[in-house]
Amino acid sequence: MSKLVPPHGGKGLTLCLLHGSELVAEKERAEGLKKIEITPGERGDLIMMGIGGFSPLTRFMNKADWQSVCEKFMLSDGTFWPVPVMMTATKEDADAISVGNDIALVCNGELMATMKVDEKFEMTEDMKRKECELVYKGEGEDSADDKFWDVAPEDHPGVIRVLNRKPYCLAGEVKVLSEGEFPTKFKDIYLRPAETRAIFEEKGWSTVAALQLRNPMHRSHEYLCKIAVEVCDGVIIHSLIGALKPGDIPADVRVKCIDTLVKGYFVDDNVVQGGYPLDMRYAGPREALLHATFRQNYGVSRMIIGRDHAGVGDFYGMFEAQEIFDRIPYASYEDACKVPGKALLCQPLKIDWTFYCHKCDGMASMRTCPHGKDDRVILSGTKLRKMLSEGGDIPDHFGRDEVLAILREYYEGLTEKVEIKMQKAASGEAMK
Q: Which residues are catalytic?
A: 214-215
Please report how the helices 401-412 and 251-265 are oriented relative to each other, as an axis angle in degrees rounded to 10: 160
What is the Cα–Cα distance from 37 to 32, expressed in whole angstroms? 15
Of the candidates 158, 173, 161, which has an alpha carbon nearest to the alpha carbon of residue 49? 173
3-class secondary-structure state, position 72? helix
What is the Cα–Cα distance from 292 to 301, expressed in whole angstroms? 8
CA angle 63, 66, 70 (to 5 degrees): 145
Report whether 249 contacts 407 (CB < 8 A). Answer: yes
Report whether 381 contacts 218 (CB < 8 A). Answer: yes
Cβ-based neighbour number of residue 92 at 10 Å: 9
What is the Cα–Cα distance from 253 to 187, expressed in whole angstroms? 15
Long-range contacts of 410-413 (CB under 8 A, 24+ apart): 410/249, 410/253
Instruction: Say if strands 168-176 and 110-122 run parallel, antiparallel, or are unpaired.
Output: antiparallel
